[in-house]
Amino acid sequence: MTACGGPGSRQALYAGGTIPDLGAWTEGVLDTTSEIEIAFRNPRAELAAIPYSSIVWLEYGREASWRGAGGSVAAKPVGMWPFGLSSGRGRHFLMIVYTDTHGEEQAAMFELGRDIVRSTVSALEARSGKQVLYRDEAARKQFEATR
């Protein structure tokens, strides 16, 4: 599916971030079944797994942007991020900020299909020990509606 149409209900789109080997708007599956790491998989590429212990913060919103809550990731060039995407009702974006093996902050933003929002965020919160931050009150309400 394209960025305009969003992912399938049980799929995810890598919307962008600092991962150099994965193009923006790559569709795949977020795999949270491992006890130690989350991985994004698709037929053409695989995102190196992100250990839950390396996650710095999580943010949920209805837009493909975030408030830049500190850290070096906030200083990345604007061109790296898919800002300006019209969110529309019912779109679910999850930003994962984590430290890489060199101790540098990295980020990956995913658009989640409606059927995996709750399970993906719950698994990330439980395994990383971090609570998801909401971009705004509307995002919090939308997330609560996915129950």
The pTM assigned to this predicted structure is: 0.82
Q: Is 4 domain-assigned?
A: no
Q: Is 2 domain-assigned?
A: no
Residue 35's pLDDT is 95
Residue 144's pLDDT is 86
Residue 19's pLDDT is 79
Average pLDDT over residues 52-77: 69
Q: What is the CA radius of gyration of the chain?
A: 14
Q: Is 22 domain-assigned?
A: yes
Q: Is the pLDDT of residue 44 over 80?
A: no
Report the CATH number at residue 107.
Answer: 2.30.29.30
**Residue 137 to residue 59: CA distance in whole angstroms:** 13
Residue 70's pLDDT is 44
pLDDT per position as a tens digit, 69-113: 444 454 443 334 444 444 456 789 999 999 999 999 999 999 999
| Cβ–Cβ < 8 Å for 68, 74 | yes
Full residue range of the structural domain in which residue 137 is found: 12-144
pLDDT per position as a tens digit, 16-43: 888 777 788 889 999 999 999 999 998 8
Q: Is 7 domain-assigned?
A: no
**Residue 118 to residue 126: CA distance in whole angstroms:** 12
* Percent of the chain whose pLDDT exceeds 90: 47
Residue 93's pLDDT is 92
Which spans in 22-136 are helix H? Answer: 117-128
User: What is the tally of structural domains in the chain?
Assistant: 1
Residue 74's pLDDT is 45
